[in-house]
Amino acid sequence: AACTRTWGNPVDGPSGTLARHDKWYISEAVRNAGLRSVKEIKISSWHEAKDYLESLSPPLSEANPVIFKILQGSSSEGVQKVHSMEQAREIIARELGSASQFGGQIGKILIQEFLSGQEYVIDSASRDGVHKVTIVWNEDLRPGNGIFNLYYGFKSMDPEDPKTNAGHHRLREQSARRNWPPEWRSRHGGEVARGG
């Protein structure tokens, strides 16, 4: 941060760091800004997860799955498609209390509705209120190697309040041409995606 300030560039404080790395915090910021966000709940125990999953209508099944995500995961770490209570219980027992790839202890898990449809990734940068889209990707995720969302390929698309930031946003195209953001990240990230 000190080096960045030396060059006259603004620096994010602790809340900026949190906004780049905590998926729940990011979703709350999106909701508080009045934008649509994926339906989700943050849990810290099997009891909380069980209560929520049992309340789903239609019930949890192959036809009505949910997504589990760890809060500080990156590059699909901790992202799992869940279609049964048994699978949910196994994942929570394995993930809660374990260490993430960055060394932090996983104490909470997000449970999100499953969104189907074409996914786009939009990378952007902002400075002093000027916003630029740097690239738009048509992301192709397919099941493979035991992972439900393995990166199969990226296709660059033609590109047609933080005042200074970089962004990496995902947009899922739903039926009836409704777009829904499954994830917002205030960080650079288009080229760092890793399969698996």
Structure-token pair, residue 82:
């869940």
Query: How high is the pLDDT of residue 118?
Result: 76
Which one of 113, 139, 168 terminates a domain?
Answer: 113
The reply to whether 165 and 137 lie within a common domain is yes
Report the candidate in 96, 124, 110 with the shortest Cα–Cα distance to residue 25.
110
pLDDT at 132: 84
* pLDDT for residue 79 is more than 50: yes
Tell me the pTM.
Answer: 0.67
For 5, 165, 184, the CA distances from 13, given in Å and listed in that order, are 12, 12, 19
Mean pLDDT on 149-171: 48
Lowest-confidence region among 1-5, 106-110, 137-141:
1-5
Q: Quick check: is 175 in a domain?
A: yes
Confidence band (pLDDT; 50, 70, 90) for 6? confident
Same domain, 54 and 107: yes
Confidence check: pLDDT of 188 > 60: no
24 in a structural domain: no
Q: Answer yes or no: is 15 within a domain.
A: no
Give the C-alpha separation, 95 to 49, whole Å: 13
Strand partners, 184: 169
Who has greater pLDDT, 142 or 114? 114
Domain residues for the domain of 97 are 40-113
Q: What whole-number distance in Å separates Cα of residue 80 and Cα of residue 65?
A: 10
Last residue of a domain, one of 55, 84, 113: 113
State both tokens at 69: 């995500």
Phi-psi sector, 141: left (phi>0), alpha (psi -120 to 50), beta: beta
**What confidence tens digit (pLDDT) does each residue in 84-120 have?**
999 999 999 999 998 887 778 889 999 999 888 777 7
Q: Mean of the per-residue pLDDT values for the chain?
A: 73
Give the domain-ending residue among 113, 134, 154: 113
- Number of domains into which the chain is organized: 2
Helix-then-strand count for the chain, H and E: 5, 9
Question: Mapped to the 3 state alphabet, what secondary structure does 123-181 carry?
Answer: EEEEECCEEEEEEEEEEEEEEECCEEEEEEEEEEECCCCCCCEEEEEEEEECHHHCEEE
